[in-house]
A and B are shown apart, each in its own frame.
Chain A
C-alpha cells in the first residue's frame, strides 16, 4: 500500500494570504495525484487531478504542483470559503488518501 503523508496537520493562515499544503507519497506515483476539499458535514469535492489540472469550476487561485513523491497544493489568496480540510489521494495503485490538512483562520 502506498502511504500518503500530509503536512502540516493544521495550518493557520489569514484571509488574503497564501497557503501551501504538502503531500508526500511513500513511493513514486508519477502525476497520479488528486486533491480534495472537505467542509464539515459535506462530501469531499475534487479540486485537482493529474497533480496540476484544476477540476471543472475550481477557481484559479487553487493550483497543484509536483510529481513522483512530492506534491503541493497552493491557494494564492485565501477566501473565507477556503477554510476546510484538504486531502491528497494517489491513484497510481489502489487509491490511498493522506490524513488531511486542516486549514484554519488565523
Chain B
C-alpha cells in the first residue's frame, strides 16, 4: 500500500534552517508529481511547493518563495523540503502529498511532521 512518512521537524529559532524528508513506498515514486502542504495550528491547508516527476520543474507558493526549496531523489524514493530563513509564521504541520497522473488533487498524504519556529 502507498506510504508516505515525513521526518525532520522540530523546534527551530527564527532565521535558522531545517530540512524535511518524506520517504515513499508502495508505488513507483518517479511516476508521480509530489507536493508539500502545510497546516498551521488550528488553521486550514496551504500548498507550499510542487515538484515534477523527475525533479526538473519546481514551484513554490508566494509565502515561501526564495526561502524554501523542494527536491527529490528518485533513486531513494525520497522527497525533501529545505527551509531557510524560517519565520514564526512558518510554524505548521508539514505534509507530503501525492497527486495522481494528470490531476492536482491529493490522493495520498503522509502523517505530517511538526515544525515550530520560536525563540
Contacts from A to B (Cβ < 8 Å): 32, 34, 36, 42-46, 49, 55, 87, 89, 91, 94-100
Contacts and interface: CB of A to CB of B under 8 A. Distances in A.
Query: Per DSSP, are chain A's interface residues mostly helix, strand or loop, or mixed?
Result: loop
A36 to B, nearest CB: 8
Interface stretch (B10-18, B81-89, B102-110): B102-110
Contacts of A99: 44
Contacts of A49: 103, 105, 107
Interface of B: 35, 44-47, 61, 95, 103-112
Given A43-B110, A43-B112, A44-B109, A97 B103 contact: no
Chain B contact residues: over half helix, strand or loop, or mixed? Answer: loop
A34 B38 CA distance: 17
B47 A87 contact: no
Contacts of A36: 106
Contacts of B47: 94-96
A32 B45 CA distance: 17
A87 B44 contact: yes
Contacts of B35: 95
